[in-house]
Chains A and B, each alone.
Chain A
Amino acid sequence: MITVNINGESRQLPDALPVTTLIELLGLTGKRIALEFNGEILPRARYSSQLLSEGDKLEVVVAVGGG
């Protein structure tokens, strides 16, 4: 098991999981999201190849109403 931080919350995940699988686990598959991975933008094309490891920090964002 590894611990990663997603949107400020700690999550336990099986080891060496690709980002695509994490997105599935979060119920966000097919949703319009953007992802910051350890402070850098992670382009959609890299979701399947990027593996998660201990201590990774992710921000997952969506568009919401705002002024």
Chain B
Amino acid sequence: MNDILTIAGKSYHSRLLVGTGKYQDFAQTQAAIEASGAEIITIAIRRSNIGQNPNEPSLLEILPPSKYTLLPNTAGCYTAEDAVRTLRLARELLDGHSLVKLEVLGDPQSLYPNVIETLAAAKTLVAEGFQVMVYTSDDPIIARQLEDLGCVAIMPLASLIGSGMGILNPWNLQLIMERVQVPVIVDAGVGTASDAAIAMELGCAGVLMNTAIAAAAQPVLMAGAMKQAVEAGRSAYLAGRMPKKLYSASPSSPLAGIISSTRS
């Protein structure tokens, strides 16, 4: 089946996007990402160590931009200004690469997005030629505004970042999908494979996750499970599920030709 995800004009076969944080070491990061089959992977931009540890290995050596579409994020930014500065640095770091993940957080306890700062940052970034995939709340009005500003993917949370609480409000995700033309990708909240499948069955274009894989007891095994869940959920969505029919059970086997009952 030729089912392609297109973001900002580029085609992807995998609908699972994964983060690269919270792994034990680079070997585990690499193995988990390989098992996930993801083509788009998020990275963070942080201050370099300045001479303390010159032989520290680099993330980009194990996850080369030639093999993956790297999606630099602004995790940890609480203002539009910091998010924009971070992504300008990312673009320089990655030789002009313009596809980015914008997230502007509201507070460190919930990591809930600050949509006012997010809108401001999106406006600036789009004007500067960035292709912005944006993490946001599951508010359909804000989602629409972010699309109107020119964002290339809308990425609502399903529940709080790192919570593993799953898809808490499928109705809002559906409201967003009804209003937005660009891909809607669930970002944050997925805890296990069934959550990813549910997001895909709802019709989401993809799922982005990090902690659900990295914090599993066996991350590489979970990465494979997520790959299968996203594929299964997508196929089920395309196949079109049967309607739910409470109180009108319908047997799967024919009613005709049943052998006669001995008790009558």
Contact = CB atoms under 8 A, between A and B. Distances in A.
The answer to whether A and B belong to the same complex is yes
Interface of A: 6-9, 11, 25-28, 31-36, 39, 41, 43-44, 59-67
A62 B75 CA distance: 14
Contacts of B75: 66-67
B226 interface: no
A34 B93 contact: yes
B44 A26 contact: no
A28 B48 contact: yes
B89 A36 contact: yes
A8 B49 CA distance: 11
A26 B43 CA distance: 23
B90 A67 contact: no
Interface string B60-76: 10000000001011010
A8 to B, nearest CB: 7
B60 A59 contact: no
Contacts, number: 108
B29 A65 contact: yes
A60 B93 contact: no
B6 to A, nearest CB: 23
11 contacts: A7-B48, A27-B54, A31-B58, A62-B46, A62-B59, A63-B90, A64-B44, A64-B45, A65-B43, A66-B21, A66-B73
A65 B21 contact: yes
B84 to A, nearest CB: 11
Contacts of A11: 50
A59 to B, nearest CB: 7
B42 A61 contact: no
A41 B210 CA distance: 29
A67 B211 contact: yes
B129 to A, nearest CB: 13
